[in-house]
Amino acid sequence: MSQKQQTNSDNLKKGLAFAYRVGDYFENSVSDVIVNTHLGTAKIGDEEPALNTWYRVDIPEGITGDGSKYYIYIKKGKSKNLLIFLSGGGVAWNSYTAARPSSGGTITAGMPNFYWSNLRPFTQIMNIRSGITEDINPRNKFKNYSQVIITYATGDLHVGNNDFEYQDSDGNDNVLHFHGYKNFRSAMEVAKKYFDNPKRLIIAGDSAGAFAVPALAGEICDDFYPKCKDVTLLSDSGQFLYEGWRNTARDIWKTSDELWQAITSDNITADWYQRLYNNYGSRFKYLYSTSTHDYLLSAYYNDVANKVFASDKDVQAEFYEQMKGMIALLKEINPDFHFYINNFKNKMVMKSGMHGGTIHTNIRNHNFHLPNSEGVSMEKWLHDAVHDKLYDSGMSLL
């Protein structure tokens, strides 16, 4: 290696180390604000939840990916309507990705990071008080809904049943607890305890939670809310084409037989929607949303296709073509599938290597309230759908 190459390499390492420290500092600062101000959430005991107040509910039998404590969030609203929300937080599909969880440091430095492996104060900002979960915005059309936020830190799309052994990035033996399904079932017991008979039910999820919606919606309704006949499903940003999904679900996550056997292609979301529609038909209202050039999902696909965890205009363009195919496929599964498409620009300056493209997820983003290119906000589109006014918005972007 020449002196110039060595100098460049040393500068790169120093730059990554600095970015890592900045990311960790940012995360810790946000955590301090959450813990020490009104933004924190109270733990609920035996009392009835107060109206329009967020609570943290510990799940003693739950466990996150790294073995730490698991908890969810709930809020009681004035209306008889209920939102069950399946949170996102990345995915681990093999030993390599299992060994690379996310943190403020890894994200800022642009290091490969694929899933959140635990819950801590910082992760609260990804779960509540934004978009559909805003509690201080009087114009939020969903402000008066009761809400159950099923948090996620297991890397298994909420459906895993396995303790997966792997070697971490330092070569040490470790275990990733793919307990997403047990966490989900325990969370739903809490939901049923506090909100037993909703008039309307929305089952929604973003990112990893978007994949989980078709996997778990039938179970939510059959086992917990069989009397509710007005059910709307929404997957926000659930596109990740990968030929190995069936093997991952069967051998690494160890999902139920019904779920891994339903995977017959590289599109796990479409396969699980096909299974759901085969079993339930028009029992639900089916909705899907996406941005056109998702910077983060395109980075995941780039890692699978090219072994590069980064996003640029070329892989974003490939994502766009795949997205058009996915929408056509979902429409083929169910002609009454309806879509919301946006092209809000990606402004995540903290994420090194994730330049350009469009946002990743919208439902828990401030853009939830803003109009897309056709003048319709996701908030209005979803509210209309819940009240049986179903239509597509943003299709001109195709």
CATH number for the domain that contains residue 84? 3.40.50.1820
Q: Which residues neighbour 12 within 8 Å (Cβ) at sequence distance 6 or greater?
A: none
In sign, the C-alpha dihedral spanning 26, 31, 34, 35 is negative
DSSP structural state of residue 369? G
Residue 77 near residue 144, CB atoms below 8 Å: yes
Give me the numbers of helices (H) and strands (E) for the chain, helices first please. 11, 11
Beta-sheet pairing, 54-58 with 71-75: antiparallel
Beta bridge partners of 173: 167
SS (H, E, C) 297-329: HHHHHHHHHHCCCCECHHHHHHHHHHHHHHHHH
Domain range spanning residue 250? 3-397
Q: For residues 329 and 150, what is the distance between their CA atoms, to the nearest angstrom?
A: 28
How high is the pLDDT of residue 111? Answer: 79
Q: Which residues neighbour 34 within 8 Å (Cβ) at sequence distance 6 or greater?
A: 40, 121, 122, 124, 125
Domain count, the chain: 1
Beta bridge partners of 203: 84, 233
3-state secondary structure of 201: strand
Residue 300: C-alpha distances to residues 14, 74, 95, 115, 361 (Å): 26, 30, 15, 11, 14
pTM for this entry: 0.91
How high is the pLDDT of residue 85? Answer: 98
pLDDT tens for the chain, residues 1 to 398: 444 334 333 333 334 343 334 344 344 544 454 455 556 688 887 788 999 999 999 999 999 999 999 999 999 999 999 999 999 999 999 999 999 998 766 666 667 899 999 998 878 888 899 999 998 888 899 999 999 999 999 999 999 999 999 998 888 999 999 999 999 999 999 999 999 999 999 999 999 999 999 999 999 999 999 999 999 999 999 999 999 999 999 999 999 999 999 999 999 999 999 999 999 999 999 999 999 999 999 999 999 999 999 999 999 999 999 999 999 999 999 999 999 999 999 987 656 678 899 999 999 999 999 999 999 999 999 999 999 999 999 999 99
Residue 94 near residue 167, CB atoms below 8 Å: no
